[in-house]
Amino acid sequence: MGSSSGQPIPSRRPGQPLLKRPGRLAPPWSARICYLLAVLLLLLEWKVRVGDPYRWELFPLMLILLLVGAILQACNVLWVQRRRNRFAHLLDEQVRRGEYQGGFSLYLRPFASTGRVRLPNPRRISGVSFLATFFEPRHLELERVLSDALAMQGPLIALGKPGEHLGAGRLPADEKEWQQIVARLASAARAILVLPSHHPGTLWEISWLKQNGLFSRCVFLMPPGYALGPESSPELWRQAAAALARIGILLPAHSPAGALFTLTIRGFPCNREPLDLTNEKGLRTAFGRLLEAGSCARPPAAPPVIYL
């Protein structure tokens, strides 16, 4: 099958992955080097000015390095996100034609949660002597951390408006075709990340995944109870659990620390891993363990908590 224009994507062989290694939104090494040099200049300036409080010869150069680092960081974020959005579009075209063979992850979540599940960033240290970490984001946002943590294993794709948020590559979809796009991408994805919700769209997605036997590829996200934003509140988790229980899918009780977990093919809680947004390597390892274990064939011996 061809694309909508009847022509294949230029310079791409059928089945060839579009991106060998997606970029990360984290500060690039060039920006980090600028911040480090600024710190070294500050220390040198402090040592030189001992006994002469009016001598700040290196201070302008330090400010220039900080400015260059901030510009490099901002340019990297914009470039990587545009690349991810472009990749999402090209990937869908190849999946539509049955040609794409690279690995990618699909992120399913209620649109209302976009940018609202955040934690204070412990790496963000205020103070002149910690300029290398001063430009870290103030908060760790769930989608952005997940997209960077999984970048080495493949891109993270989500439905939405390109440019609305930093994180997963955005694929626009209207009300008439979004279900078809979800079904097409979920069938081809290596992994599916799901943020449960009581919203009708999310309920349809989870129900469709169960009916089509795709729970073995799914990793479900339980946001921490102490995260910033209403979308991570235990009350919303209870609402999601109650709505899913009505269609035969049971969620585990909410944990203040959050969690990653899987469900059996029948919709019972199965394996579980901690959700640590401060450790990208740990997140990547936890996802790998959950996907390798797959979906349990049987429900747990003890019945899970059902919210009424």
pLDDT tens for 9-49 read: 333 444 444 445 556 667 777 887 887 888 787 777 766 66
Residue 95 lies in a domain: no
- Which tokens is 145 given? 């951390």
Domain count, the chain: 1
Residues of the chain with pLDDT under 70: 1-25, 46-56, 122-136, 226-232, 294-308
Residue 237 lies in a domain: yes
Q: Containing domain of residue 224, as a range?
A: 103-293
Residue 185 lies in a domain: yes
pLDDT value of position 51: 54
pLDDT value of position 22: 54
Residue 169 lies in a domain: yes
Query: Could you tell me the pTM of the whole model?
Result: 0.76
Q: Classify strands 218-222 and 259-263 as parallel, antiparallel or unpaired.
A: antiparallel
Nearest-angstrom CA–CA distance, 249 and 242: 9
Residue 76 lies in a domain: no
pLDDT value of position 249: 95
pLDDT value of position 186: 93
Please report, as a single letter, which amino acid is at residue 224. Answer: P
pLDDT value of position 218: 95
Residue 67 lies in a domain: no
Residue 166 lies in a domain: yes
pLDDT value of position 87: 84
Residue 129 lies in a domain: yes
pLDDT value of position 227: 62
